[in-house]
Structure 1
Amino acid sequence: MTRLVGRDPATGRALAVEMAGGRITAITAAEYDGDLYLSAGLIDLQVNGYFGLDLNDHAVTPDCVIALTRRLFAVGVTCYQPTLITASETSIIAAIRAIVRARQVDPQTAEAIAGIHIEGPFISPNDGPRGAHPANQVRVPDLAELSRWQAAAEGLITMVTLSPHFAEAPEFIAGAVAQSIHIAIGHTDATPEQIHAAAAAGATLSTHLGNGAAANLPRHPNFLWAQLADDRLSASFIADGHHLPADTLIAMQRAKGLDRSILVSDLAAPGGLQPGIYDQPIGGRVQLWADGRLGTPGTPYLAGAALPLSACVARAAMMTGLSLADTLVMATRNPGRFLKGRGVLEIGARADLIRFSWEKGARELRIVETYVAGEPVWQS
C-alpha cells in the first residue's frame, strides 16, 4: 500500500490517499503542514508531440511514443490521447502501429495511453479552417477507412475530429458512434445547420473551439455560435494565453458551463525546447518564443501549441478568474468522461495522481510527483 498526503485544491484542507492494486482504497483527513496540492492526474485529449518528439513524423517509432509518455509524466499528465493529424492512410496507419507497439512493450505507456485521437483527414479543405493540415490529404469521411484504422489500432481509436460540412458526415458520425468512437467537430467552416445535424447524429465535442477557424467570419450566424449554443456538445479550449484572448475564453467557457468545458494542450513537437526556429514534418518552419508562443515566422499566425496542460490549468485560472479546483476539473474529470471515467479522485478509482505546488498568479503548476495506477512514474 502507498499513502500520499497533500492539500485538496477545492478546500485547502489536508487529505491522505491510500492506494493498492492500482486503485484508490481510502481517502481520509490528514495532518499536514506542507503546501503541496494532491489531485487526480491530468488528462490531455490532444497531444501531437513534445520535446522534439513528433507523433506526426512519418518515421515515428515505438521508442518515440514511450519517450513522449515519459515527458508528459514530468508535467503531470497521467493519461492522454496521442493525436494524429491529416495525412495519407499509409502514414496514419504506420503511426497507429507505432503507438500500439509502444503500449505492448512498455507497461507505463500502456497505462497512460487510453486511446488514439485522429484529427482529420475529414476536415475543411479551405485555407484558414484547415490550419496546418496538408490540403492534398483532406478527404471525404469514409467508414471503411475508419475500420482499417481501428483494425491497425486493435480497437484503440477513441476519437475522430472532423468537419460536418460533408454530405457524408451524419452517416459517418452515426457509424463511428455505434462503435463507441467519440466524434468531435473541428477545423470546420460548416453551416450552423450542419453543426446541429452533426450533434443530432452523435457528435459530442468541439475540438479546440475558437481555433482551427478562418480569421474572418460572418458576425452571425456562424459555426462558433452554433457550437456554443448546442448543449449536446462539450468544448475543449487551448488556454495557453496565445490561442484565445481572456475575454473569448471567459465567454466561451460560460456558454458551455463548467461540466462541458475541457482544457487541452494541443502540444506540438517544439514544446519544451529552447526558443528558436524549428522545421516540422507538418507545418514546415515555425518559431518558438520564450513565452511559449509557437507561430509561423514573420506572420501573426500560430503554428500549434507549445505549453503543457499543467501550464494551461494555471493560465486558465488567471485568464478566467475561476478557482484552481475548477480549472483542474476541466483537465481531469471532464476529459476523463471521454476515456471511460478516468480522472477522478474517489475510492475505487484508478490511482492516477499528482502532487504539485502552485500560488495564485503562477503561470504553471510545478509537478512534484506523478503516479500512474499507483506506481511512481516521475518525481522532481
Structure 2
Amino acid sequence: MRISGRDPATGRTLRVSVEDGQIGAITETDAPTDLWLAPGLVDLQVNGFAGHDVNAADVDEATVTALVDALRRVGTTTVVPTIVTAPEERIRAALSAIARARGADPLVARAIPYVHVEGPFLSAEDGPRGVHDARHLRPADIEELRRWGDLVRMVTISPHDEAAIDFIARATRRGVRCSIGHTHATPEQITRAIDAGAELATHLGNATYTVLPRHPNHLWTQLADDRLHAGFIGDGHHLPADTFRAMLRAKGVERSHLVSDATALAGMPPGRYRTPVGGDVELSADGRLSYVGTPLLAGASRSLADGVATAITMAGLTLATGLRLATANPGRFAGGRGLLRPGRPADLITFAWQPGDSTLDVREVLVAGHPVT
C-alpha cells in the first residue's frame, strides 16, 4: 500500500509505503498533486461527535465504535474519549462501554489509547465550573480513581485545595496524567500542582470567571510555567484570535496543542436542538453552539480538522505548524503518535487546503495502512 501527498513543511510531493500497519519508506516524487499529506489527527478531548455521545445515559459499545468511525472520516485517527462530571456509577458505565468497544474491535482499541475524565474534581464556583453539573462535583478522591480502572490515563482537576494537590501527586505516581482545568485555584496552588506532577492545562483560557484580577491570576501562572503543556480550543469561538495568538506565543508552540472538546452536536446540521444538559441550544452555520436567547457558549461543535484550519488563520501559522498542534504535539501524550516517520503507525490522511479555508478537506484516511470509507 502506498499513499502520496504534499509535505506541509516543504511543499514537495512525498510517497509513503506502508508495511504491516507501519510507515515504511518515505520518498520524494515528481508526481504532481494538489493534496497535502499528514499523520492522522490526535484529539485528547472528545465528548462526542455526529450525534454519538460517550456521556449519554445509554452509551454502549456501538456508540463508541460509531464515534470512532465518524471522527476517522474527518481525519481524527486517535481519539481520547472524555467523560465529564457525573455520579460515579455513570462514569464507570461509560468506561465499561469504551472498554467493551475496544475489546470487540482491534481498530477501535488502536484509535482509543486511553480515556480522559474531565471532573468530577473541579471548582464548584460559577464560571470555573462551566456547564459541569454542580450536584455531582466532589472532592478529589484517589480511591475513586482506582475504582475507575486502568483505562483512565488522564484526569482534569482543579487544584484549589490540599486534597486535589495530594491527588495529583498520587495519581502521577500511578502513571495517570493530571491536567489543570475548571479552576479557581490561586497562582500559588497552580505552582504546587505543577510541582506535584500536573503536566497539562485543559482548554486554557476557558472555564474561568468572566472577570479576573488583572494580576496575579491562575492564567498567567499556567502560561508562564514551562513545565505545563496547554490545550487550546481553536474553533474561533472559545478564544478570540488576539487572545489565542498571545497565549500561543506565551506558551510556545512546542508546549501547545489543539483539542476539539467536541460534543455530540459537532458535525450535525445547523439548527436548534434539545440537550440533556443545558436545554435548548442553537448550532449556527459557522459552528457556534450557544444557549438559545443568550450569547453563552453551550460547548464546542467543530472537528479538529476545523480547529487546525481556524487556528492557522487566527494566529497566522504555517500549515506545518498548525498540523503540529494537532498531531505530533498531542501525540506525545498518546504514545508518540502523530509523526510522519518510518516505523510509526500508518495512520495517515490526505486533504485539500489553501489559506483562508475553514477546515482541512479530508479526502483519504488510512488506519494501520488500510483505507477508511
Report TM bin, short chain. Answer: over 0.9
Deviation at 1:282, TM superposition (A): 2.7
Deviation at 1:230, TM superposition (A): 0.8
Partners of 1:340 and 1:273 lie apart in 2 by 31
Residue 177 (str. 1) matches residue 176 (str. 2): no
| 1:108-257 equivalence runs, <5 A | 108-150=107-149, 155-257=150-252
Percent same amino acid at aligned positions?
55
- What residue is the counterpart of 1:43 in the other structure? 42
Partners of 1:240 and 1:349 lie apart in 2 by 29
Partners of 2:288 and 2:325 lie apart in 1 by 22
| 1:65-80 equivalence runs, <5 A | 65-80=64-79
AA partner of residue 113 (structure 1): I
Deviation at 1:108, TM superposition (A): 1.9
Gapped runs of 5+ residues in structure 1?
none
Partners of 1:11 and 1:361 lie apart in 2 by 19
Contact 1:141/1:166, CA 8 A, preserved across alignment: no
Q: How many residues align?
A: 373
Partners of 1:127 and 1:339 lie apart in 2 by 32
AA partner of residue 186 (structure 1): G
TM-score, normalization by structure 2: 0.99
- State the secondary structure of the residue aligned to 1:338: coil
Could you list the per-position Cα deviations for residues 210-263 of structure 1 after superposition, in whole angstroms to 9, with x for gaps in the alignment? 111111111111111110011110101011110000000000000111111100
Partners of 1:40 and 1:144 lie apart in 2 by 37
Gapped runs of 5+ residues in structure 2?
none
Contact 1:293/1:305, CA 8 A, preserved across alignment: yes
RMSD between aligned residues:
0.9
- What residue is the counterpart of 2:308 in the other structure? 313
Residue 322 (str. 1) matches residue 322 (str. 2): no
AA partner of residue 304 (structure 1): G
Deviation at 1:43, TM superposition (A): 0.2
Partners of 1:162 and 1:297 lie apart in 2 by 29
Deviation at 1:278, TM superposition (A): 1.4
Residue 377 (str. 1) matches residue 372 (str. 2): yes
Deviation at 1:298, TM superposition (A): 1.2
TM-score, normalization by structure 1: 0.97
Deviation at 1:157, TM superposition (A): 1.1
| 1:332-343 equivalence runs, <5 A | 332-343=327-338
Partners of 2:110 and 2:365 lie apart in 1 by 13
Partners of 1:96 and 1:188 lie apart in 2 by 24
Contact 1:56/1:282, CA 8 A, preserved across alignment: no
Partners of 2:109 and 2:370 lie apart in 1 by 13
Partners of 2:369 and 2:173 lie apart in 1 by 33
Deviation at 1:107, TM superposition (A): 2.2
Residue 354 (str. 1) matches residue 349 (str. 2): yes
